[in-house]
Structures are given as C-alpha cells and as structure tokens.
Chain A
C-alpha cells in the first residue's frame, strides 16, 4: 500500500513537473530570437506576403502567444505534441522514430560504462597506488576529459577505416533492410523478426558509438567506485569483519561493494539520463539517427514544437530514471527500505 502511495505521488509530481517544463520551454523558445518563418522559408518565398501568411497560418504562428500557449497545453494534455514545422509530421511520431535509436545506443553504452567502470574502480581501490591503479586512473581521467567527437573520429578511423575490425557508421549494413518496427531497437526487432544475422549486424554497429559514449560515464563510475570503496574499506564494520578473519574477496564483494555502489547508482542514473538526451556530435559522426540529431535539426529550423517535445522527453528521462534509482537504493541498502 505504501509502495503504491509512493508511486502515485511520483506520478502526480511527474505530470506537474512536465507541465512546468513545457511552460518554461514554451516561454524560453518565444523569448529567444529566432523566427521559424525566416528559418524555414526561402529568400524568395519570404518576399511574398501571401506565402508567408499561409505558412504562419498553417503552423498557428499567426495567433497571439497566449493563445498559442493554451492551445499547446490543451493538446499536450491529449498527448498531442503538435506538428513539426520542419518535417510536417506529428512531433510524437518523430520522437517515436528517433528515440528508440537513442535508447538502444544509450543502454548499450551505459552497460559498457557500468561494467567496466565498476570493475576498474574495484581494481583501482584494492590495488591502491599500484601500477594497475595508476593505469586505471589514467584511463578514467582520459575518459572524462577526451572530447567525444574527436574520440569518435579516432575510433572510426582506426577500427573501421584502417583495421576493418568493426563495421562503419549507421545502424545496419547496406545488405540488410531495416527490421519491421516493433520496439524501434534494431537488435531486438531483428530477433523478433527471426533474423539473428541481422541482429548480430545491428549489435556490431552499436559497439563503436557505444564505446565512445561510454568513455565519459565510465571514467566517472571508476572514480566514484574507487573513492567510495576506499571510504567503506576504512569503516569500523569492515575492520571488524577483517578481524574475524573474513577472506579479502568475500569482504569486498559481500560487505564493502554493496555500500560503495549506492553513490555509483546515482552516477549511472545521471549518465543514462545524459545519454538518453542524445549526443549530437557522436550521432553525426556515426550517422546515428537519434534524438541528438533531431534536436539539432529542430533548433536550426526554429522548430518550436519539436524543441519543446525534445525538452519534455529529456525531462521525462531524468524523472523516470531518478525514480528507478530511488527504488534501486532500497534494494541495495536495507536502511533506505526501512525508512
């Protein structure tokens, strides 16, 4: 019952927050300089008042801002995010088209980042100040500081262009057609289609961009895991466990790591939220048609409905992820459950 109450409360907050975000982004998009008519009509068309008037009427830009706002909120409550000025398609349809590509990439990236980050963090902590620790710290610092677009080009240049180890940009090789859309995630949809070769091809296309995206979050996870594990290892209960003669591996894995992982979960959650917002440069280099590219194109076209749609999606990402992280806290730390 308590759990249901908690979830119910969260949902109400979620709706209020989303309306708040929608309002804020609506005001901001109207305040910043930029006219969709100028951004999308040609120089010749702009010289023709009839064409300009027809364009403004088509996208409701001829109405006062306040009317535009209430129409937008009314439509939003009916899950209608409006029509993209750039593509003339419903924004929801556009987001549903590009979001699965981002989710697929982000999930794969966060899995790599979490697995490697925690592993490196543990190694670094238990071999503190050793050569191994120095190497791991160097990798994590590099991961945090390396510009992603440069790393992306480097990875593509060596592993695709020079060494031919990984496939090139895009989500699938040219020999495959896109799988029938069920989830929009090519690996899963290819498997559902009963085509493991296509799924494997999609998976292999994921690897390089995911590794590039994982680098930054992996660096953060490594550093957070290391410092937290070192903190936990110096606590009284660990000393007691040591004194009782508990083995090193059991001590770390059973008693220390669980507690050290709580802040790491936050980092993973934030990292995933960040990745789900789309990464313009990496998506551009790897020819990945995700939310980042869509957001970039929308901003360049002053496509207000799409910009607000992307902002709402990002806000929703963080809210959902934070809720999941809160629940996971409870699973990892019994004290949180008791509270």
Chain B
C-alpha cells in the first residue's frame, strides 16, 4: 500500500512537471511539431505569420447560406461566397460584386442584372445566371428564417448565361441591399445539387444539402471552409481558384470564445488577432497596450421603448401626450454610459449610419420640467403607476433589464412609477410582443438586412408598428410614406422621403429609440483593414497583414 501511495504521489508530481514544462515550452515544441506533422501549420497571432485568428462570442446553428440568420454566419459566408451586390464600406450603398451592371424598369417592377463573365467557383465551375436563380429560389423555398427576404421577388428569369431578370411583386427600393444578404449568396448549384440541394417549391421538405453546407463551402469567395468543429472553430483557407484580387491573409481560424475576459487575455498574449466581443471594461484593460488597436463604433442594433397605442394594453402610455412626456423625460446620455463608448442615440427611427439618417438626437433634448408640464396637461399631474414588461434578452451584450432600470429611474422624476416585470422571451414575451398585447416595454431591433427600409416596419400598420397597436388609420399620412419610400429607387428621392419619415416620427408615435448599441472590437496592429461591419460583423476580405 505504501508503495502504491508513493507511486501515486510520484505520478502526480510527474504530471505537474510535465504539464508545466509542456506549457512553458509550448512555442518551441509546437513549432517543431508543426514541421513534422502534416496539417499542423505555423502558429497564428505571431508576427510574420500569415494566419489570422479571430475570436467570436458565439457559434452558429448553421452555415448553410439558405438558412443563416444569426449574427456571425455572415462573417464566414461573406468570406467563402459572394453575392450579386456587396457593401464594401459599412455606411455606403450596395455596389456590384458578381453583378457587372444593373437596371430597373421604368415601373420599378423589374430588375435586370448582367453578371461578370470571368467568375469561377472554388470547384472550378463557372458562375452563371442558373447559379444565381438556383440560390435565390432555394432560399425562398426552404421556408427558413431568412426566406422573408425574398418576399418581393415574384420570379427570376435567366434569358442567357449572364443575365438575370428579377420580377418584383411591388416596387422595392431595398432590393439591391437585400441581394447583398448572406442568405442570397450565390452557390455553386452543380455542387449543391450533387449533395442533395434543390430549389424546387417543396425544398423545405426535400432539400438535404444543409449537412453538407454546414461543413463545406460551395461559393466563389476569397476563402474556402476547410474545417468546422461546431461550437469550437471554423478554419478558412484561400480559395486557389479565386477570380478576383485576394488579400495577403492565407488562413483564418475563427474561434468561439464566449467570455470577453478570455478574449481580452488571448488577444493581449498574442494567441488571437481580433477580439470581436469586448466590453467597456475589457477595452479599458487593453487601452495603451502596445500592438493593440481598439474600435468603438455604433452598430445598427437599436434599443427602443414601445408604448402601446391601444388603450386596452397601454393604459396611460397610449396617450400621445404621455408618450411625449416620456420622450422628454428620458436621459439619453445615461443610455450611452450604460451601453458603453461608441453608443449613439438616433434622431428618430432611422439609425445613424443608414442612408438618409438625420444623425443623432440633440444632446439637450431631455427636459424634465417640460416633461412634467406635458404630463400634467395630459391629466396626470401626480403621475401614475405602470408595469413595464422586460424580457431576458440582451442588446449586443447589454441586458434589456439594465435599460429598463434606467427608464424606471428617469420616469420616477416626473412621477411615473414603473414596476419592472420580467418575462422570458420564449415563454410568453415573444408571443405577446408579436401579438401586440404588451402595454409598455423596452426591446431591441437588429436589422434584418443593411438598408434603411428595414426601419419602415416601425410605421403604422407595418410589422413592428402593429405590435404597438399603431394602425394605418391612426396616421394615414405617415402610412402613405411607406409606399413612397419603397418605390424610391433613386437615391435622392429615397433620402428625401426617409428624412420626411424621421421628422414625422421625431415626437410622434409609440416608439422612442434610446440607443444604438456599440461594437467593441480589439485587434493586433499587425493587421490593417479591420473595421466594424453591420452586414458581415467583420469583413475578412478587406483585412491585410502589414508587411
């Protein structure tokens, strides 16, 4: 027994020594091993390496473009696939990518796109109009999360190999932006069909290509997916058949690192190159650190207060005067503090950064005394008690309950006593929100696709407007601006109508936009071209290693 105990102690000591030695010599041993072992490549995050490691906060439920809808898949899809159009800058307009030229018909109901003729997929197959039609019809017929994006596409014609004609159900000024969306990425139809893909009307039950596309890419992008370990990492390597001009990054390792402290430490030690999910605290830790650059920029994800126009649900907050008082009472600077550096409050319902945005809300907008007076004029000189329902979601890392606490404290100053009621998203809140039965709540809106038209859903009679009991009859003039904005394919005309909509909702309606959440990204300065991207989270095709 004595010998056994001694052996156990020795084994433990050996293990400790081995582990400690192993780690302290990690670099040396791994480098030598990398030379010896096929498949193990030079360490990333080291100066001179052409591999870039990116840490992301969460994984993917799918990487099949036809189904993708979450935050991070576009980062992979944009690197491995291409669309007809693309956002080359975050705040710009969509520009042709696989498209060469395009033209709208006079009535705005037909869009004709001529394709580039020298594009090949990673497989070597040429990209043709049949691939475009297949990809978009497949997304539409899969009936998945992003299928709604094809709602205005009635049919697609392919008169020749390099022409695609979109017949639209209605005028849609956002159609070019929609065609940039990851779900409408152009797939190598030959490869996808060979792996069970179909664009038939019954694709939702007959398409079996998702398993294949979850682990392999079939696009014409700068990179190809070479490895995917769910909830762990994705590896992208350069597409040897890439038709365009590639950057000098040969390989990306996209790691899932849910904790921001972990991302801060791994970036600081050089194990990763880009940390996507930093917080104000972890950014502060990195401030001034050599070789690390920081980005604090507003995203287009916006938090908003919703006051139901239907008195049955909204009670006193359905009164437009009370809504104005609440608007005046909120201290928007506090929202910026709680959401972190880079936060901004938009002027009205269209986020800063979108075409036609009227910028930020004036810093001196808040006026508590005026709010009290408006509330008194509305018949509530002593204020009132009200429940505010809040769900368990967070807006880019900021819990909605934190926003609710701020609202509660701001409204207490004008006598409105807010009682915060928590309700899980999947257990009641989601249904009530969708059914328009929530009286008073704070929620967030992440843009479906990168176009100001997504905000038109906040207008009376539209998806989000109806959730606040705001019907078309309540504001027919404002409702009419929806059709005008949808029809305005000319940018100047679009901007004019979007500005009109912002003015009309500035102090009118059941929504108060309180904050555009910021993105906190930190990266190694050996890289250039790292910027926050609303459509792709991070555009890997723009990043280069500084020589």
Point out residues on A near B: beta carbons under 8 Å. 32-36, 38-48, 50-51, 54-55, 57-58, 86-89, 94, 97-98, 112, 115-116, 119, 153, 156-157, 160-161, 164-171, 173-178, 193, 195, 197-198, 200-201, 203-204, 206-207, 249-250, 253-254, 257-258, 284-287, 289, 293-294, 297, 301-302
Q: Which residue of A lies closest to B271 (CB)?
A: A168
A87: chain B residues within 8 A (beta carbon): 61-62, 230
Contact A165 B24 (CB under 8 A): yes
Knowing A47-B434, A201-B26, A302-B426, the reply to whether A294 touches B231 (Cβ < 8 A) is: yes
Contact A176 B61 (CB under 8 A): no
Segment at the interface with A among B32-40, B81-89, B240-248:
B32-40
Contact residue among A34, A97, A156, A301 (Cβ-Cβ distance under 8 Å from B262): A156
Knowing A157-B265, A287-B257, the reply to whether A45 touches B145 (Cβ < 8 A) is: yes
Q: Which residue of B lies closest to A42 (CB)?
A: B145
Contact B231 A51 (CB under 8 A): no
Some 12 contacts from A to B, beta carbons below 8 A apart, are A40-B145, A45-B148, A54-B204, A168-B266, A177-B41, A195-B33, A197-B32, A198-B30, A207-B19, A284-B258, A293-B258, A301-B61
Contact A203 B430 (CB under 8 A): no
Measured CA separation A44–B464 after assembly (Å): 10
Contact B266 A169 (CB under 8 A): yes
Count contacts on B: residues with CB < 8 A to the other chain: 76
A47: chain B residues within 8 A (beta carbon): 148, 434, 463
Measured CA separation A206–B205 after assembly (Å): 43
Contact B51 A174 (CB under 8 A): yes
Contact B9 A119 (CB under 8 A): yes
Contact A285 B261 (CB under 8 A): yes
Point out residues on B near A: beta carbons under 8 Å. 1-2, 5, 8-9, 11-12, 18-20, 22-24, 26, 29-34, 36-37, 39-45, 51, 53, 59, 61-62, 69, 143-148, 204-205, 210-211, 214, 227, 229-232, 235, 253, 255-259, 261-262, 265-266, 268-269, 271-272, 424-428, 430-431, 434, 448, 463
B144: chain A residues within 8 A (beta carbon): 45, 51, 55
Q: Which residue of A lies closest to B265 (CB)?
A: A161
Contact A174 B426 (CB under 8 A): no
Contact B148 A51 (CB under 8 A): yes
What's the nearest-Cβ distance from chain B to residue A258, in Å?
7
Measured CA separation A35–B53 after assembly (Å): 36
Measured CA separation A239–B18 after assembly (Å): 42
Contact B24 A289 (CB under 8 A): no
A116: chain B residues within 8 A (beta carbon): 12
Contact B265 A174 (CB under 8 A): no
Contact B40 A45 (CB under 8 A): no
Contact B22 A177 (CB under 8 A): no
Contact A165 B266 (CB under 8 A): no
Task: Give the 5 A-B CB pairs with smallest separation, nearest first.
Answer: A33-B427, A197-B33, A175-B43, A54-B143, A38-B430
Knowing A89-B211, A176-B33, A195-B37, the reply to whether A254 touches B1 (Cβ < 8 A) is: yes
Contact B5 A253 (CB under 8 A): yes
Contact B259 A289 (CB under 8 A): no
Contact residue among A44, A249, A302 (Cβ-Cβ distance under 8 Å from B463): A44
A166: chain B residues within 8 A (beta carbon): 19-20, 23
Measured CA separation A254–B5 after assembly (Å): 11
Contact A177 B434 (CB under 8 A): no
Task: Report which residue of B31, B45, B148 has the largest number of chain A beta carbons within 10 angstroms of its beta carbon.
Answer: B148
